[in-house]
Amino acid sequence: MSAETPSSFGALTLLARALCEDARIGLVASTRGWAWDPARRTILVDCNDLERSGLHVAAGVIAHEVGHARVSRMTLAGGADLPAPLAHLLLNALEDRRCEAFIADRYPGTASWLAAARDAHREDLDDSPLHVQFLLGAADSGSLDGEVPVAMDDRVRAALARTRADRLAFRDTRPDAELSGWAEPGATPKAGSAQTWHDEGGEAGVLAAAAASVDLAERRVRPVYASLVAEDAMTLALAWRQNAQEALKALRSSSWPAVRALAAGGGTPTWDEAARALGMLGRATGARSETLGPARLHPGAGGTTASSAGRADDDAGEARAPAVRRAPAAGAPSAETERAERVREHVARLAIGLEAAFPRRRPSWGRGVHESGGRPSLAAVLRLEANPRSSPRVWERRTSPHRRSAAVLLLVDLSGSMGGAKIKATLDAVQMLVSALGRLSIPLAVFGFQDELIPVLPFAAPLPDARSTTERIDRMADEVLGRAEGGHNRPRHNDDGPCLDAAARILAGQAATDRLLLVLSDGAPEGAHSGPDDLHAAVRRWSAPTSPVRIVGIGIASGAVSTYYPDCVAGVSPEDLPAALGKVLAVRLAGVRSP
């Protein structure tokens, strides 16, 4: 450690205190890399890297590790497709983007530090195993923008592109940046934070977001990553078959090109050879995680530590789990999985388009000083120190910044003419809205209508889990066919006018500055107790300049909506419906120009 390093270490200590004023996190000098140690609640500072890269880069790494301390709580479990260390490293790589997004929201000034740290530790990856390339690519923010500015295998680039939308969703599944409080056994809240200690702004919100993000990683990203691990295991198995000693030596020294050279022309590995290679990869890759660079993987983020690479040869003969599995018994994927796959690109595009108009709330410190609060005002403390008779109000309080508010209600025609491709596209569009608007905390309600309103996802109802949401959405198709169990089942009628009136009244009661009512229909009204004149009257009433709601008609495979709705998008083909709905929201809510 040079003479300048202690001074820099002291500056980092002050920085950590500023970033973690209510988390009680300390810094410990280290020569073994940067890491967050959850057991001791400390950040290990690589003094060699601090001296080499400078304080600005190190500040970015500190902010990065603070983000892990704030929001990283869970770990992916191992299984037949992945040993636990490899599953854990996948979560760490994905968590990099999530924790940095959180810390940049909470402390906007850290963004330049985080970017400097990423740039300083970026390197080409094409000499690494495929799964390691994927991990480091996923940890690089460039891969979320569709470009990774480093050399890597084309198969990995394709895997990153295939998982981009899901990794964006993982990044955005995070607690509110106004998180204040830190729950631990025997801890007590600091002054001024009692109300948010265990609620959505505290540890409960952190755990809920962590659980949701892990579930997303398990379902959407893990299968792609596991396929790359399987390819690497097969390569290692072939190298082991050719020369076990040289293969182990290359693995220990992280010389993957040597492993590939040994494996060239080796044929196809057996089941046992692949299983043994997978176990070796899990142990060796986990042990090397600390050497992959600060803007990368974090062994302590999920609370576990990888084993030593020195055990690779001791346990080489143990078949922990097969690297590749025979095809499972044929079975249709769930409706939830199929639908999520169809709309995931639309979800990501809509969320990104609306994010500028509806950003996550960033915490700020209000003006003035008070008798209690979250942090002391330096000016007020100095004033009191200079004159003990001055005001004892020295505390600043965190304020909740204003954020534009909106509420959206989707009203869907569930008459019999909506069957076939129309209702299938409608269900996809509803799933897209639920996912994208839920990610941005914009309230959404979905109602169907026949001769009266049919609640699907009302505003006031508690948000169901993913499976329950899918079941509720699927019931719309059953209503169109007239066979929804316990449903309304009147598909011969569509009383547009009265149902529009009822839906608009529900939306008008929402506490929001922007209220958007989307009406999805495929034809003219044919109601049991109303007709076209009633719809014209209802549209005039709710389209008046003083109306608290804004109505947009969307015609699916029909131009009839243009007859009734001044603001409309007519003749949308079923396959284009999710994209068209996303465009309507982007234009009407975010002011994005329609292409």
- In this structure, of 102-106, 203-207, 493-497, the range with the lowest mean pLDDT score is 203-207
User: 271-291, pLDDT tens digit by residue?
Assistant: 778 888 888 887 776 555 433
Query: Which of 429, 433, 476, 408 has its CA nearest to residue 577?
Result: 429
Q: Mean pLDDT for the chain?
A: 77
In whole angstroms, give the CA distance from residue 52 to residue 46: 10
Contact partners, residue 310, CB within 8 Å, separation at least 6: 287
| pLDDT for the residue numbered 401 | 54
CATH code: domain of residue 530? 3.40.50.410
pLDDT at 199: 36
Last residue in a domain, options 305, 339, 354? 305
Lowest model confidence (mean pLDDT) among 32-36, 266-270, 302-306, 584-588: 302-306
Integer Cα distance of 28 and 89 in angstroms? 23
Answer yes or no: do 301 and 413 share one domain: no
pLDDT confidence bin for 594, thresholds 50/70/90: very low
Question: What is the C-alpha separation between 527 and 295, in angstroms, rounded?
Answer: 61
Q: How many domains does the chain have?
A: 2
Last residue of a domain, one of 279, 305, 331: 305
Residue 351 has pLDDT above 60, yes or no: yes
Comparing CA positions, the residue from 172, 71, 165 lying closest to residue 442 is 172
Written as six digits, the tokens of 187 are: 């801890």
In a domain, 216, yes or no: yes
Position 198 pLDDT exceeds 50: no
pLDDT of residue 509: 92
Domain check: are 288 and 422 in the same one?
no
Q: Is residue 397 part of a domain?
A: no
> Is 76 among the domain residues?
yes
Quick one: 282 and 411 in the same domain?
no
Range of the domain at 238: 4-179+196-305
Task: Say yes or no to pLDDT of 355 above 80.
Answer: no
Residue 345 counted as domain residue: no
> What CA–CA distance (Å, rounded) separates 310 from 150?
30
Residues 114 and 259 in one domain: yes
Q: Are residues 301 and 417 in the same domain?
A: no
Q: In which band, very low, low, confident or very high, does the pLDDT at 570 lie, cut at 50, 70 and 90? A: very high
183, 202 Cβ separation under 8 angstroms: yes
Confidence of residue 1 (pLDDT cuts 50, 70, 90): very low
Domain contains 281 = yes
Taking each continuous run of H as one helix and of E as one strand, the counts in the chain are 21, 13
Distance of CA 232 to the CA centre of its chain: 28
Helices (H), 54-83: 55-71
- Among 31, 26, 28, 6, smallest CA distance to 16 is for 26
Beta carbons within 8 Å of 226's beta carbon, 6+ residues apart: 81, 82
**What does the buried/exposed string (b/e) look like for 222-261 if buried means 16 or more CB atoms within 10 Å of the residue's CB?**
bebbbbbbbbbbbbbbbbbbeeeebbbebbeebebebbbe
- Do residues 79 and 203 share a domain? yes
Stronger pLDDT, 105 or 416, i.e. the higher one: 416
- 235's tokens: 């390569």
Name the percent of the chain lying above pLDDT 90: 23
pLDDT confidence of 427, banded at 50, 70, 90? Answer: very high
- pLDDT for 160: 92
Cα gap 76→215, rounded to integer Å: 9
On whether residue 346 sits in a domain, the answer given is no
DSSP 24-52: --EEEEESS--EEETTTTEEEEEHHHHHH
Containing 302, the helix (H) or strand (E) segment is none
Confidence class for position 268, pLDDT limits 50, 70, 90: confident
Handedness of CA 426, 431, 436, 442 (dihedral sign): positive
Please say which residue of 305, 339, 365 terminates a domain.
Answer: 305
Please report the pLDDT score of residue 403 as a whole number: 62
Let me know if residue 513 belongs to a domain: yes
Tens of pLDDT, residues 372-426 = 777 788 788 888 888 888 888 888 876 655 567 899 999 999 999 999 899 999 9
pLDDT at 200: 38
pLDDT at 295: 34
